[in-house]
Amino acid sequence: MPMRTAAVCVFLTLVGSQYANASPILSLQAAADPHSVNLFISNVTDLFAFDLTVGFDTTSFDLTAVTEGPFLSTGGTTFFFTLPGAFVPSTNSVEIVNTLLGAVNGVTGSGVLATLMFAEAIGPGSLRLTDLAFQNSSLESIPVQTESVPEPAMLTLICAGLLGGARACRIRRKQSDESSRDVL
């Protein structure tokens, strides 16, 4: 089953959100390419480096590559790598590490940290964010919340369900009105 079809079935499970509401928010979001997912950070201040793990079900996903997002590199030269470096079918997680180089300030704002690319999805599955470590330019820890963001396809399904429910109520009301007229 191609990723386009399975994208509707993907549920994003984010692990480790035990921080205050003022913390930056890390989320997985559908990318423009149906075979990709963006790792997105919002409202972060002075981000200098991060290290995290993305887990996934190998019976559902075939991860082919992870690329650096443009956000951290707006602060200068970066060093980006993943572990394992080569993606093998039996690996059910990938560690993503990225840091600015030199004595520079970290970046502030929101943006894409990395993009995960998949060959295809075999079935429904989930992606998990764990082992989150974010640091500022003083190498102090930055607490980060994780958040699940509904994919556009999921929002479409929710809207379709709501519209269908509203239509069913309207039909029942109309039938009820017609049957009450028949009694009179």
User: Residues 91, 103: one domain?
Assistant: yes
Same domain for 142 and 166?
no
Mean pLDDT score, 17-22: 40
Residue owning tokens 């239509």: 167
Domain range for 139: 3-149
In this structure, are 112 and 122 located in the same domain? yes
Structure tokens at 18: 């035990």
Same domain, 96 and 160: no
> Per-residue pLDDT averaged across 105-121, rounded?
89
pLDDT, one tens digit per residue, over 24-46 is 988 888 777 778 889 999 999 99
Both 116 and 27 in a single domain?
yes
Tell whether 60 and 91 lie within a shared domain: yes
Q: What domain count does the chain have?
A: 2
What is the C-alpha to C-alpha distance for residues 53 and 97, in angstroms, rounded to an integer?
Answer: 9
The CATH number of whichever domain residue 81 belongs to comes to 2.60.40.680
Specify whether 23 is located in the same domain as 79.
Answer: yes
Tell me, yes or no, whether 138 and 160 share the same domain.
no
Identify whether residues 80 and 108 lie together within a single domain: yes
pLDDT band at residue 154 under the 50/70/90 scheme = very low
Of 42-46, 52-56, 74-78, 132-136, the range with the lowest mean pLDDT is 52-56
Are 129 and 159 in a shared domain? no
Residue 134 exposed, middle or buried by CB count within 10 Å (0-12, 13-18, 19+): buried
- Do 39 and 69 contact (CB within 8 A), yes or no? yes
Reported residue count of the chain is: 184
Tokens representing 10? 């993907």
In this structure, are 101 and 20 located in the same domain?
yes
Same domain, 103 and 173: no
pLDDT for res 168? 64
In this prediction, residue 27 carries a pLDDT of: 86
Going by their DSSP bridges, the two strands 145-148 and 25-30 should be labelled as parallel
In this structure, of 24-28, 73-77, 162-166, the range with the lowest mean pLDDT score is 162-166
Q: 125, 59 in Cβ contact below 8 A?
A: yes
Average pLDDT over every residue of 65-84:
93
